Chains A and B, each alone.
Chain A
Amino acid sequence: METILVLLHPDAEGAIAKAGLEAIAAAHGLGGEVIIGLVGGNAAGAAKVIGGAGRVLAVEGDAFSQSRYATDAAAAQALVAASKAGIVMAPATSRWSRCLAGVAQRCGGRIDSHITAIAPEGVTRWYYRQRIEATFTRAELPWFLLLESGAASAWQGAPCDGTFERIAVEAAPRTEVKGVVSPGAGEQTVKPEAELLFVAGAGWTKKQKDGAAHVERAGELILGIVRTAGASLGSSKSLVDLSGEGQAVLPFLSHLNQVGQTGSTPRHPKGLATCCHGEEPHVVGWRFIQDRRAVNLDANCGWARGKADVLYVADAFEVMEELNRLLA
């Protein structure tokens, strides 16, 4: 079995996010030597937590504490070289996703991203944006793998002495990281950690049975649920597109809210969809939601049937009015 390098970026306190612990467990699941490669952050602190998982190599320094292609790629490249690993694994954070393909290219390797399952026989990922699932393996090394969260259960190990080997890397980046901003001036509606994903479809803006649209009320009801239920807000492409056209349509929506084929496929334990319709592109927005419920006027809606656990055939406006009251 090849040596496996697991790349992680601990934070300033040395903490490793759950996705990182999952990557460690996945690596151990394959058998073979596991080496941990740390970039940035508090390497000593992190090594104390995860040192039990294997030999720890680290690239440290101010330049490496930020999420930036040039420095991350240089660090990862040095760690791959030092570890002589045949397989390189990392959680699919925005940081590793940005740089590892380039590193694979530098190392003459191959990369596969969005891995959802991993076993000695092969890895599994989705093609066509969560629409076709495939399992495969490769001969080319080093083989880089970006793991989606949930691909393995988190690694658990006893704390240890925190020894690690420092790898020196030069850095003179041309890019300066300024920080992180939330989109728009309004409130945060994308909440990855939320228990519930609330999906709003274009139906909210359409003419209702009185022949008129009630967009303003729709906006209040949707935001109401997002607030009272602490939900993350997802939306269909149609609805986001409408909002983007500069009309007075749900101004709090942006493309970041879009779920599905050309949006995101968030992971939440529960999902509630209202006024949605659509086939595949839409359904992929649900791919990783465990418990799904929908409210739609159409009992035979093919989108909900067979895809949701419960379909309430009801008027979403009426249901949400009441739900807002109940949750308030």
Chain B
Amino acid sequence: MSMEPSGNESPAIERPSMDVDIVCAGFGPATGGFLTTLTRGLPLEDGTLPQVMCYERADDIGFGVSGVVTRARGIRASFPELNPDEIPMAAPVREEKVLYLLDPIGASRRSFTLKSADSLLRAAGVLDHEAFELPLIPAFLEKHDGLVMSIGQFNQWVGQQIMMSGMAQIWPGMPVAAPLIDGSRVAGVQLLDHELQPGMEIKAALTVVGDGPVGPVGRQLDEHFGMPEGHEKREWAVGMKMVIDLPEGSPLEPGMVLHSFGYPEPEIFGFFYVHPGNVASAGIFVPSWFDSPVRTTYRYLQHFLQHPYLWRYVEGGRLRSWGAKTLNEAGRRGEPHLVGDGWARIGEGSGSTNVLTGSGVDEAWTTGTQLGEAVLELLREKKPFTKENLEATYVRRRRASWLEQESLTAEKSRDGFHRGIVAGMLGMALAGFSHGRLHIPGAPIEHMPKVEDFFSERIPAARVDEIRREAASSGKPLHDALMDAWGWPAIPYDGQLLVTQQDALLMGGKVQAAPGYADHVAFRDEALCASCGGKTCVSVCSGQALTDAPERPAFDREKCIHCGACMWNCERENVVFMAGAGGLHSAEN
């Protein structure tokens, strides 16, 4: 995985510095849980009021991306009186389905086994709009006591309460460039440089790292402190979603939840949730173990929406919001060192996401609350934030909780996917039902196939070559041309829901970037790019911020949504993904 020292190039410059007691990097659900718990215990009984600062990269809190359906166990523990009506777009889960989507157009790459299964299902006449509804939902997947939410609205709701308490400050538009590492200790963070002002050093007794799956602060800690024996972060997915104003008179009820697999490619999972107000969230995950070098999530999302099972609901709808983000699918196996002298990690970057149940929000929140309780305990006892003390308080709480039990179960569940989707689903079910004792072993893909090889079944190598030349001379994306040639139908743009990716950036993502910051995506060795045939970083780029160019891909900072997918999609680990400003300006995802 590519890790890089810091987004700030010039170590020699004089940096202003400031002292606080606790500094947090990133404001997602994990830090939300942390600050909610911590601020409720402040000031301490003896009147002590530590100064607590949180710096968030995005231009406002709540510009994150997620599903989100959650069992909300941890969230409800923090808000026992929680009334979903108070949070815009939230609703209790009312109906759940797991769907196997067949391919109505014959463009997806299906194995022989899958094709046979499809024929059987078709012959049996059990399909509804080319989809097979699983007769029962595995218990581990069920979220029927949970909530459908917008992560943006939830984060804003939480953030406002924390801010109004006056016990902590959350500053958006302020990326953290790096942890201040001092031997075995972390002494705070350094903020990102702006051309008019060098990034400040924020010194703190405790640094809380909640910067999510691809956060640069967490990755620099991984780099410096290494990963625990046998742990690694190697499985990822890029999740992309749209929030859709459903057509008037839609029959769908708030709280409906659909999970899908099988289409547009067997490896791609989908979701569809209904919010109050005739609004739905729909999205897909393109995982790292999907072996296609052409992994253009946006195009696949458009095909997903057009699957007959969904299209009957969304046709005539309007794109309201859009975004994408990486999901760390390594889960417990990707758990880094959780604490050290002066630092602690929470949330998805700390391996909390449960890939078996497809949930990360409540888990992230819960790790935050556990750290919050631990910090209050240490503050009350006037103990320093040493590795030992954090282990005895935070890590102990985490190990003793449901979170640990469930992530151990999930740990092995995903391996089967590398052997194909059917084995994968089976593997997930086996592990889920047997609480982790049974699983189908497998290993992540080591090498992305060459474009020519991957498409050889339907596109002769000479034609691939030709397509490549055409793309280069017209400046148009190669991946789209390849998908067309393979047999994916053109997208019937309607300017409302099916819009170009550029339009999605503005209509849905409202993407923008303040001037004055350096490019946060760079290439370690440009020569590698020049000889790269696949350019997966370009085809996967969620924002079309990376485009093909002769030497190395061209990066347009104003279009980047900071999903981090480019980083883990270059198998040569040639992408340097650093802290940067800007990105999505939607709080509805």
Contact = CB atoms under 8 A, between A and B. Distances in A.
Interface residues of B, number: 23
B487 interface: no
B16 interface: no
Given A209-B475, A245-B516, A298 B550 contact: no
Interface in A293-307: 297-298, 300-303, 305-306
Contacts of A11: none
Interface residues of A, number: 23
B197 interface: no
Q: Which of A211, A238, A241, A277 has the most CB of B within 10 A?
A: A211
A242 interface: yes
A208 interface: yes
Q: Which of A209, A210, A277, A279 has the most CB of B within 10 A?
A: A209
Contacts of B119: none
A300 B500 contact: yes
A206 interface: yes
A301 B503 CA distance: 7
Nearest to A277: B502
Given A278-B506, A298-B502, A300-B493, A207 B515 contact: no
B558 A209 contact: no
A245 B474 contact: no
B551 interface: yes
Contact of A302 (B472, B507, B558): B507
Contacts of A245: 515-516
A209 B499 contact: no
Contacts of A277: 502, 506
Interface string A222-242: 000000000000000010011
B503 A302 contact: yes
Given A241-B515, A242-B515, A207 B554 contact: yes
B238 to A, nearest CB: 23
Contacts of B507: 279, 302
Contacts of A301: 500, 502-503
Given A241-B515, A278-B506, A302-B507, A209 B472 contact: yes
Contacts of B547: 207
Contacts of A211: 549-552, 554
B522 to A, nearest CB: 14
B495 interface: yes
A209 B502 contact: no
A273 B551 CA distance: 30
Nearest to A282: B506
B556 interface: yes
A320 B176 CA distance: 43
A3 to B, nearest CB: 47
Contacts of B550: 210-211
Contacts of B473: 209
A278 B556 CA distance: 15
B268 to A, nearest CB: 23
Interface in A270-328: 277-279, 297-298, 300-303, 305-306, 315
Interface string B499-514: 1101100110000000
B168 to A, nearest CB: 33
A207 B549 contact: yes
Contact of A238 (B474, B502, B554, B558): B558
A297 B475 contact: yes
A207 B499 CA distance: 23
A279 B496 CA distance: 12
Given A207-B554, A300-B499, 14 more contacts: A202-B558, A209-B474, A210-B550, A238-B558, A245-B516, A279-B507, A300-B503, A301-B502, A302-B495, A302-B500, A302-B502, A302-B503, A303-B503, A306-B495
Interface of B: 472-476, 493, 495, 499-500, 502-503, 506-507, 515-516, 547, 549-552, 554, 556, 558
30 contacts: A202-B558, A206-B556, A207-B547, A207-B549, A208-B475, A209-B475, A209-B549, A210-B549, A211-B550, A211-B551, A211-B552, A211-B554, A242-B515, A245-B515, A245-B516, A277-B502, A277-B506, A279-B503, A279-B506, A279-B507, A297-B475, A298-B502, A300-B499, A300-B503, A301-B502, A302-B495, A302-B500, A302-B502, A303-B503, A306-B495
Interface of A: 202, 206-211, 238, 241-242, 245, 277-279, 297-298, 300-303, 305-306, 315
